[in-house]
Amino acid sequence: MPEEYKKYDVDFKSLRNNEYWIEIHTFYKENIEKIAPLIDRIQEKYGMDFETARDSILYEIVNAHAGTDHRKKLFSKKRYSWSLKYILFFIFSLFSGFINLLISPFLKNRNFDILYEEMWEENSWFSRFYKYIDIELPKDKTRAILFDHPAPAKPFFKKPRISMWNDEVINRRYGAFIFDWKEVLRVLWKEKFSFFRLWKFSKDFNFTYIYFRFLRKILLYKTQVQKVKAKNLIMAGDYYWNPVKYFQFKKSISNIILIQHNIKASGIRQRAFLYADYYFTHSEDSNYKMEGVGKTKLISVGSFQLIPFLQKKEIEYDILFINQTVYDKLKEGTPLLDQEKLQKEHNILIENFYKYIYKNKDLKAIYIAKPGYTNREPFLSVEEKFKDLENVKFTSAYGSNMFDLVQKSKIIINMYSSVGREAYGLDKKVLWINYNHSCTIFNQNVDFEDLHILLDNSYDAFKSRIDLFLSNSDEVDQHFEKLKKKYMNIQENSANIILDSIF
What pLDDT, in 10s, does the model give residues 29-55? 999 998 999 999 999 999 999 999 999
Amino acid at 108: K
> Residue 232: pLDDT above 90?
yes
pLDDT in tens, 277-296: 999 999 988 898 899 998 99
Q: What mean pLDDT is predicted for residues 394-419?
A: 94
Which band of pLDDT confidence, cut at 50, 70 and 90, is reported for residue 444? low
The Cα 321–Cα 329 span in angstroms is 22
Q: Taking the model in full, what pTM does it have? A: 0.84
- pLDDT reading at 275 higher than 70: yes
Backbone angles phi, psi at 113, to 5 degrees: -75, -40
Average pLDDT, the chain: 91
Segment holding 403, helix H or strand E: helix 400-407
**Comparing 72-86, 88-102, 133-147, which segment has the lowest mean pLDDT?**
72-86
Is pLDDT of 346 > 70? Answer: yes
Q: How far apart are CA 28 and CA 462, in angstroms?
A: 44
Give the C-alpha distances (Å, rounded to integers) separating 366 from 317, 385, 404. 7, 14, 13
Q: Which residues pair with 392 in a beta bridge?
A: 365
Which SS3 state, helix, strand or coil, does residue 85 take?
Answer: helix
pLDDT at 443 over 70: no
Dist. CA 123–CA 117, nearest whole Å: 14
Distance of CA 447 to the CA centre of its chain: 22
Measured CA to CA, the distance from residue 350 to residue 356 in angstroms comes to 10
207-224 helix and 181-190 helix, angle to the nearest 10 degrees: 150
pLDDT over threshold 60, residue 7: yes
pLDDT of residue 111 exceeding 90, the answer is yes
> In this predicted model, which residue has the larger pLDDT, 375 or 152?
375
**What topology is assigned to 309-487 in CATH?**
Rossmann fold (3.40.50)
What is the per-residue pLDDT for 131?
94
- Mean pLDDT across 458-481: 96
> pLDDT value at position 445?
65
pLDDT at 343: 95
Residues facing 411 on adjacent strands: 319, 429
- Confidence band (pLDDT; 50, 70, 90) for 74? confident
Res. 104 pLDDT band, cuts 50 70 90: very high
Closest listed residue to residue 118, CA positions, set 59, 159, 62 = 159
Q: Would you say 169 and 120 are in contact if contact means Cβ atoms under 8 Å apart?
A: no
Question: What integer is the mean pLDDT of 226-253?
Answer: 96
Query: CA separation (Å) from 47 to 1, 73, 195, 197, 276?
Result: 26, 28, 20, 20, 18
Q: Flag whether pLDDT at 252 surpasses 70.
A: yes
The predicted model gives 186-211 an average pLDDT of 86
**Among 305-314, 435-444, 463-472, whose mean pLDDT is lowest?**
435-444
Kindly state the percentage of the chain with pLDDT values over 90.
66
Q: Which whole-number Å values give the CA distances from 493 to 132, 245, 282, in the listed order?
A: 9, 29, 13
Percent residues over pLDDT 70 in the chain? 96
Minimal CA–CA distance to 437: which of 428, 447, 424? 447
Strand partners, 393: 366
> Is residue 328 helix, strand or coil?
coil
Domain boundaries, the chain: 3-102+175-303, 309-487
Q: Rg (Cα) of the chain, in Å, rounded?
A: 25
Give 275-279's long-range contacts (Cβ < 8 A, gap of 24+): 275/52, 275/55, 275/241, 275/242, 275/243, 275/245, 275/246, 275/247, 276/235, 276/238, 276/241, 276/246, 278/498, 278/501, 278/502, 279/238
Three-state SS at 193: coil
For residue 292, is it left (φ>0), alpha (ψ between -120 and 50) or beta?
left
At 400 the three-state DSSP class reads helix
- pLDDT at residue 154, rounded to an integer: 65
pLDDT at 118 over 70: yes
- The one-character DSSP state at 139 is T
> Is the pLDDT assigned to residue 332 strictly greater than 80?
no
Please give the pLDDT value at position 231: 97
Looking at the predicted structure, is the pLDDT value of residue 236 above 90? yes
Sheet containing 253-259: order of strands: 169-171, 143-147, 110-118, 228-235, 253-259, 278-281, 297-300
Least confident segment among 55-64, 68-77, 214-223: 68-77
Three-state secondary structure string covering 329-379? CHHHCCCCCCHHHHHHHHHHHHHHHHHHHHHCCCCCEEEEECCCCCCCCCH
Q: What share of the chain is helix, strand, coil (3-state, %, to 5)?
A: 50, 15, 35
d(CA 221, CA 213): 12
pLDDT per position as a tens digit, 357-399: 999 999 999 999 999 999 999 999 999 999 999 999 999 998 8
